[in-house]
Chains A and B, each alone.
Chain A
Amino acid sequence: MKKILVLFSIFTSFFFLAGTNAKACELNNSVPVTSLSAGFDAWKVVTSAMEECGNFTPTLDQEYRDKLVASLESNPSQFTMAGVSASTNVSVLDAGVTRPLDDLVAKYGDSLQDNQKIVIDGKIMAIAMMTNAQHLFYREDILSDLGIDIPTTYDELLKAAKVIKDAGVVDYPLGGTFKSGWNLGEEFVNMYLGFADSFFDGNMPAVNNNDGYETLKMMKKLTEYMDPEYLTSDSTYVQQQFQQGKIALANLWASRAGAMDNAEESTVVGLVKFASAPKAKKNGKPASTLWWDGVVIAKNVTDEEAEAAFKLAMVGLDPANLGANPEAAPWLSNAFDPAPSNIGAILTAKSGAAPYPASAKMSTLHGVLGAAIGDYLTGAATAKATLEKIEADYITAATEKGLL
């Protein structure tokens, strides 16, 4: 009897919670909708607003890209909608698993701005909600104590790192998202675009050159000031290093900036400031790539489900909701002023950083880079051998895919 009572009370409390939640959202959603997206703060803000409308089940997974295409490819699709980035949008687009949104935008998308619409050959295929870029995070207190100007180039950054190291005020002067795999590949892409403009000649790789060499050399110089375990260090790890006061400078994702002032986790509230990503060459562009994150709706769902999903997405992306959480990400909405933590991304874009050159060949090269560079950084391979290996591995993979 006691057990039944406990169960009963648990159930009623669920209903009670669901009841109070549903009131926060004006839309009363009756069609079950599911979503798959990455798990950083911005997605939490958007999906939790959508959850309040009822019948919505989000899956927040940092490794979402592993299952994105496969789950949308099935018929019916495993998820009604998905959160994609500039790069993963190419994979769902190429696989033809998302639907054009023009009709839905015309009907329900009044709150959207033009720069939020991802238009491919005249059709709206995704709705962007935020931009993202890796840019400089710095400890303002440490820099001003030691009389260091905010570094604008990587050479200045290295000098600053040396001063900080000699002063011994933190465990390691620099942090970096150098985890082997996608993160490490992204670091190379960022740095390389600071030196050069293009990775390819047609579909053939073109990184085995002086720019590639300079990129590798710069990456290695940076690692000398990092926690020696850098090959296992991802965005979350670097974020925590900052929060625990262990590092002073890092090029980290804009979507992590809000967490610096989260008093529950951070010991450095108010001390971390943001600036544009440093340049690789004195008069070049910032060594960073611009990304966007946004929403797509699966092709293999009913029109009714797609409509419900789009309406829910509009609740999640409502400027009022985003404006209530301005620090979570550099939102694209013009309806409110960006939070101070978004300044880094804005400055990086203004200084002319390149958008991430998303394409099938780029994804292939990105994977190869992430696997090959580790050996160079640890000293197991030379720069020349590494660049040769990158080209050879890319050609193998691209031939297998039919790109060459």
Chain B
Amino acid sequence: MKKSTFLVFTMPSFIMMTLFIALPLLIVLIQSFQFNQDVLETIERENCDPFGCKTETITVPVLDENGNKIKNNIWVGFQNYKNILKFEQLSSVISNDGFEWSKIRSIDFYKALRFTLTFTFITLPFVIILGLILALCVNVLINRLKGPIIFITLLPFIITPVIGALSIKWLFIGDGILTLFLENILDKDIALFSQGWTIEILMLFYRVWHTIPFAFVIFYAGLQTVDKEKIEAAFVDGANRLQRLRFIIIPHIMPLIVFVALIHLMDSYRVFDEIVGFSASGFRISLQWMTYDFLRIDDSGTRSIGRASATSVLTMIGIIIILIPVLRRTFKEQKEKRL
């Protein structure tokens, strides 16, 4: 292909990616080194409401001649990162009490990081193994059943994540029907939303249930391309079902497994919907939830854009670190193929 043709064809997507990915990333990076403040002044204000009049000394934003707040972006270096990571507090906890988790988790970032990592790495094997098992099962069904079964299997993936999370919450919260059912069977009072670990298990379960169809569809497509002659040859050589799976099928769809793992790692590191859907923020928070919480406007009408940007940058760095092993493996394979 000529270089100019190549440029013409890629230019639209290049421009789009600059506008919608690179530029926002750059802005987030810049904001993470700034405080976004209103210019404030302390004044005396007389305030009359149904409970009487009083004059108070309060700090309020200065308004310009059009009556708008005057905003100021102040460069603060790594202050936002320091406010989130709190290394000083962390090191004082560690030097005093050692790695005592109950003390470390009082710093929001480490509490969120702990949950995010557990969530990411516990759901991963379940999604891949169960997705593969499902694909193998559907693959041996008679043709007439395949269509309907695939359709039903895909349903959890079609549901909007927040809606799915809410439905599961309502099944279990308070006297939800499944809680009542469990209480009847076990003859015990069950409150799944009264402690962190039960909510965490529900959230893990929900994510696995929701993502399996994605893994299943990819693996099922991969299974259609397995060389039948190879399988037959292995059968003739006396390989049993497990050996055929291990030595022929899995190596064949390995690139797909890596692909699913890659997407799942990226997706679940950004866990957020579950925290909102299960109202879990009293017990468990994630890194993305922290970003959201900083961005939420409070009653005074302001938000912490600096710290929100800093958590976003930290989340991105986290995703990159997690993906490095997988990406290195893919690069290596690509290189070998070329040789």
Interface residues of A (CB under 8 A from B): 65-70, 73, 86-88, 90-92, 94-97, 115-122, 128, 131, 179-181, 184, 203, 227-232, 237, 290, 292, 299, 332, 349, 355, 358-364, 366-367, 371, 374-375, 378, 380-381, 385, 389, 392, 396-397, 400-403
Contacts and interface: CB of A to CB of B under 8 A. Distances in A.
Contacts of A374: 282-283
Contact of B282 (A88, A120, A231, A385): A231
A90 B49 contact: no
B46 A120 contact: yes
- Interface-centre pick from B45, B50, B105 (highest chain A CB count, 10 A): B50
Contacts of A66: 296-297
Contact of A121 (B38, B46, B301): B46
Nearest to A91: B301
Nearest to B67: A96
B69 A95 contact: yes
Given A360-B60, A400-B304, A232 B35 contact: no
A374 B193 CA distance: 13
Nearest to B281: A180
Contact of A403 (B40, B279, B282): B40
A contacts with B: majority SS: helix
Contact of B306 (A95, A299, A364, A400): A400
A360 B59 contact: yes
A116 B300 contact: no
B300 A94 contact: yes
B191 A229 contact: yes
8 contacts: A94-B61, A120-B46, A131-B50, A180-B279, A371-B281, A400-B35, A400-B307, A402-B72
A272 to B, nearest CB: 19
A378 B102 CA distance: 12
Interface in B24-72: 35, 37-40, 45-51, 53, 56, 58-61, 63, 67-69, 72
Nearest to A404: B59
Interface residues of B, number: 54
Contacts of A229: 173-174, 191-194
B194 A203 contact: no
A290 B51 contact: yes
B202 to A, nearest CB: 12
A184 B37 CA distance: 27
A204 to B, nearest CB: 12
B278 to A, nearest CB: 8
Given A228-B194, A374-B283, 7 more contacts: A69-B301, A73-B68, A119-B46, A120-B48, A128-B49, A374-B282, A385-B103
B50 A128 contact: yes
B195 interface: yes
B contacts with A: majority SS: mixed
B193 A292 contact: no
Nearest to A332: B50
B83 interface: yes
A116 B60 contact: no
B246 to A, nearest CB: 44
- Interface-centre pick from A67, A181, A231 (highest chain B CB count, 10 A): A231
B301 A119 contact: no
A358 B106 CA distance: 28
Nearest to A234: B279
Contacts of B45: 120-121
B39 to A, nearest CB: 8
B298 A380 contact: no
B255 interface: no
Contacts of B192: 229
Contact of B299 (A67, A90, A237, A403): A90
Contacts of A181: 281
Contacts of A179: 279, 282
Nearest to B304: A400
B83 to A, nearest CB: 5
Contact of A355 (B51, B58, B283, B301): B51
A35 to B, nearest CB: 19
Contact of A349 (B51, B108, B300): B51
Contacts of A403: 40, 59
A349 B50 CA distance: 11
The 10 closest A-B pairs by CB, nearest first: A228-B194, A180-B282, A363-B299, A91-B301, A231-B282, A363-B300, A360-B300, A374-B282, A69-B301, A119-B48
A232 B166 CA distance: 13
Contacts of A122: 46
Given A360-B300, A363-B298, A378-B283, A402 B48 contact: no
A402 B40 contact: yes
A122 B45 CA distance: 10
Interface string B290-330: 00010011111110101100000000000000000000000
Given A94-B301, A128-B50, A232 B69 contact: no
Contacts of A392: 89
Contacts of B38: 401-402
Contacts of B53: 119
Nearest to A388: B106
A230 B174 CA distance: 10
B195 A378 contact: yes
A38 to B, nearest CB: 13
A36 to B, nearest CB: 13
B125 interface: no
B98 interface: no
A96 B299 contact: no
Nearest to B53: A119
B196 interface: yes
A384 to B, nearest CB: 11
A87 B299 contact: yes
Contacts of B48: 117-120
A66 B37 CA distance: 19
A299 B67 contact: yes
Nearest to B35: A400
A367 B298 contact: yes
A96 B283 contact: no
A366 B302 CA distance: 13
Contacts of B108: 371
Contacts of A68: 297, 301
